[in-house]
Amino acid sequence: MSTLSTDDRRDASRRMAIAAVLLLAACLAAWLGIHGNRAPPAAGPEAPAEAFSAARAMGVLERILGDQRPHPTGSAANAAVRDAIVTELQALGLDPQVQRRFACGGFTCATVDNIVARVPGASPDDAVLLSAHYDSVAAGPGASDDGAGVAAIIEVARALQAGPSPARDVWLLLNDGEELGLIGAEAFTREPEFKRIARVVNLEARGTTGASLLIETQAGNAALSRLLRESLARPAGSSLEYEIYRTLPNDTDFTVYRRGGLAGANFAWARAPARYHTPLDDIAHLDPGSLQHHGDHALSLARAFAAAEPPVAGDADAVFFSLPGDVMAGWPVAWNPALLLIALAPWLALGWRLVRNQSARAIALPAAGAVVVAGLGVLVVAGLLGHLLLRTLGAMPATWTAQGAAMVAFFVLLAGGLLVPCGWVVRRFSGEAALAWASLLPFALVAIATVLWMPGGAHVVLLPLLIGAVAGHVAPRRPVLWAGLAALPAALLWAPYAEGSYDAVGHEGLVAVPVVTGLIMLPLLPALLSLRRGMVLATAGGWLAALACALLALLQPAFDADVPRPVNLVLVAGPEGSRVFAQSRAMLPGGFFRDTGFARESSPMHPWGGWGLAGPLGPALPAPAVMIESHEVIGDRQYLQVRLRSPRGALEGGLMLPGTVDIGSVRVNGQPLAPSRWHAGSEPWRRISVVGLAKEGAVIAFELPVGATQFHAFDRSHGLPEQLAGVTAARDGIGVPIGSGDVSIAWSTVPFPQTTGAGAIRGD
């Protein structure tokens, strides 16, 4: 029987104390990283006149939205919001102009009413643009998306006038038609004012709360990032957000401005996404702190952009990221290869040094690295299987549900339950130093990948690798310490993505949570395993807590007052009759099917697709009227000009054209479609629509190969006929509309003429 000497006991106690401090410090770093993605406190009405006040902006928003009706483009409610905005700007002594223009987005055209005003500066050239859209979707009042942005800009205009005059003009654009496809922004790029503008700040939202994150800049953003670091009082977001954002199928008005050559910044918040584009996007659910953050960003950048020299075109990008203490740090992307070398070299040298001083065997390092990488692979598989299990058991009946927090916790805890035993195996057979060194291997591998393919995200791996490697050379015989120090920046930078992936993507984002959490935990494994019974407690506790969270996710109702079930009703009336369909990405309760007679399996709603659950028959609707005004065949191409009208006066109408149509040839009332990423690819049908159909209709011209036999015409109006009030009431009992909301569609099929010339065809 052996006993530890006094020195050994003292050393063991010291190691345990260091391990405990590192674990607590890592938890604090993770909390700070997540807390940095929270909105600041809202300023009250007593805030200084030259400062932004969320309380004052909320008052503006309440006056603008009035009774908080949905106000899509072309509606009477949207006209009322437009007039209220004009009144607010006039009360500030500004001279707002309403620019009514017909313009086109990628597939939709509309007459929009953009509101433009100017806060005069010392120079009219190289001006600043503050932009937000005031139209909403048909399903919700749009308090957050994007009434908050409008109110913030109006309050910023007031604050600018209360302070020193800006060095350059600041233009305010409160545009229309964003929800239809960025149409108001497209229209403004053709105005003479646009040519005077050099920089833009765009305000958006994808939820009702959260920090105002810098989600987008533009290529060649090195100079801009320096200006942002100097100007933003409470920065949030990073260049990794921009890297992620531009891989997603999302566009905002900033897309149009960037394409038009403007430099600038795009801000949005993205918490509580289940309320996005629903009736819960109202003033009651809007976080005043988020509004404050928007306004602080817009006001500080309006002043900074106005005072700065005009932007110079360049191709130099930057890495930038926010840190605790309201600091934005960063460096030029061009430094990434050198920083990678500076981080990799000491890490590799540390491995050689550990072997040299006999802290680890030469064979132990690659063996430990292989097990660590395999452990992360296990976490990837665990994420997939955990997602499949919870989804199969019914915990994920929609993209976002009320048990989101429990599911995030389950996947975080899953990482600990699996990774800690993996670390114990490495420590048992390869030693503590080999485990510590191998815990940095994934950071080295990801650092190489990001520097090559996603340079704006390099900081999240370069900093932990660099700090761990340098600390290892300072104290090579204390692997618990130097690996734990690497975990601090990892926790600070990675924790927001582990915690926020669900809000950002929905339940599919949960798959990545275990491996992201694993990257944070890897450098902490030596510290955790140094504690008495650390492996047993962490593993058993992790699994028990994960099980509890999984049970909570399964037992907690998926939908509640704050996270409603999204369901739209669509009346489709065609030549073969009229029927109501239910559309939802959420599972519907069985009682809804029994009470309403809706089918449980989806079926096509019309010839070009559009699937839904077939329900009761509906009233007939008059078909859209189509006249082919000209048709010409040249070689293997045919050219048509079609006039479309809505006999029932629907707000929107359009054509479903064969996928072979040349999108670049389409003209709607003489206007071409705006460039769009959605033009690429092959689709069986292409939708071209017009919102705000005039009595005389809309003229659509297009070109496509000879051989197509028919196309389809449709018109669409918001809401369902009164005869279907019972169906609407049944839906209201289990869910809320989302996005475009409930609609009534009438359609007809139109054959292509077989000869050249003009003819009149009415679809019926």
Check pLDDT > 80 for residue 764: no
Residues 271 and 149 both lie in one domain: yes
| Cβ within 8 Å of residue 21, ≥6 positions away | none
User: Of 753, 221, 721, which Cα lies nearest the Cα of 455?
Assistant: 221
Please tell me the predicted confidence (pLDDT) of residue 433: 95
Residues 23 and 71 both lie in one domain: no
Q: pLDDT tens across 182-202, in order?
A: 999 999 999 999 999 999 999
Please tell me the predicted confidence (pLDDT) of residue 757: 44
**Cis peptide leading into residue 146 (ω within 30°):** yes
Residue 386 structure tokens: 């955990």
Q: 257 lies in a domain?
A: yes
Residues 339 and 264 both lie in one domain: no
CA 513 to CA 414: how far, in whole Å? 9
Kind of pairing, strands 568-574 and 318-323? Answer: unpaired
Percent of the chain with pLDDT over 90: 85
CA 203 to CA 40: how far, in whole Å? 17
CA 103 to CA 418: how far, in whole Å? 55
Check pLDDT > 50 for residue 545: yes
Residues 316 and 386 both lie in one domain: no
Residue 543 structure tokens: 């699994």
- CATH no. for residue 105? 3.40.630.10
Please tell me the predicted confidence (pLDDT) of residue 7: 64
Q: 1 lies in a domain?
A: no
Residues 105 and 212 both lie in one domain: yes
CA 711 to CA 720: how far, in whole Å? 26
Residue 440 structure tokens: 């940095």
Report residue 4's pLDDT band, with 50, 70 and 90 as the boundaries: low
In the DSSP assignment, the letter for residue 615 is E
Q: 542 lies in a domain?
A: yes
Give residue for tokens 């191409």. 637
Using CA atoms in the order 743, 749, 753, 759, what is the torsion angle rounded to 10 degrees? -60
Please tell me the predicted confidence (pLDDT) of residue 1: 44
Residues 480 and 511 both lie in one domain: yes
Residues 129 and 111 both lie in one domain: yes
Residues 503 and 570 both lie in one domain: no
Q: For the chain, give the mean pLDDT.
A: 93
Please tell me the predicted confidence (pLDDT) of residue 681: 76
Q: 45 lies in a domain?
A: no
Residues 136 and 109 both lie in one domain: yes
Number of domains in the chain: 3
Q: 329 lies in a domain?
A: no
- What is the arithmetic mean of pLDDT over 27-51? 93
Residues 505 and 602 both lie in one domain: no
In the DSSP assignment, the letter for residue 587 is P
Amino acid at 407: M
Residues 509 and 650 both lie in one domain: no
- Among candidate residues 528, 555, 582, the one where a domain is terminated: 555
CA 460 to CA 490: how far, in whole Å? 7
Q: 702 lies in a domain?
A: yes
- What is the arithmetic mean of pLDDT over 131-147? 97
Please tell me the predicted confidence (pLDDT) of residue 761: 40
Q: 397 lies in a domain?
A: yes
Please tell me the predicted confidence (pLDDT) of residue 8: 62
CA-to-CA separations, 186 to 175, 663, 674, 751, in angstroms, rounded: 10, 17, 7, 33
- What is the arithmetic mean of pLDDT over 554-580? 95
Q: pLDDT tens across 590-626, in order?
A: 999 998 999 999 999 999 988 999 999 999 999 999 9
Percent of the chain with pLDDT over 70: 97
Bridge partners of residue 627, in order along the sequence? 643
Q: 43 lies in a domain?
A: no
- In three-state secondary structure terms, 61 is helix
Q: pLDDT tens across 708-759, in order?
A: 889 999 999 999 999 999 999 999 999 999 999 999 999 999 999 875 444 4
pTM (2 d.p.): 0.93
Query: Does residue 157 contact residue 141 with C-beta atoms inside 8 Å?
Result: no
Cα-Cα-Cα-Cα dihedral sign, residues 375, 377, 383, 389:
negative
- What is the arithmetic mean of pLDDT over 691-700? 95
- Among candidate residues 489, 520, 555, the one where a domain is terminated: 555
Query: Does residue 669 contact residue 102 with C-beta atoms inside 8 Å?
Result: yes
Q: pLDDT tens across 427-480, in order?
A: 999 999 999 999 999 999 999 999 999 999 999 999 999 999 999 999 999 999
Check pLDDT > 80 for residue 143: yes
Q: Which domain holds residue 720?
A: 565-764
Residues 497 and 640 both lie in one domain: no
Please tell me the predicted confidence (pLDDT) of residue 755: 59
- Among candidate residues 277, 301, 323, the one where a domain is terminated: 323
Bridge partners of residue 757, in order along the sequence? none
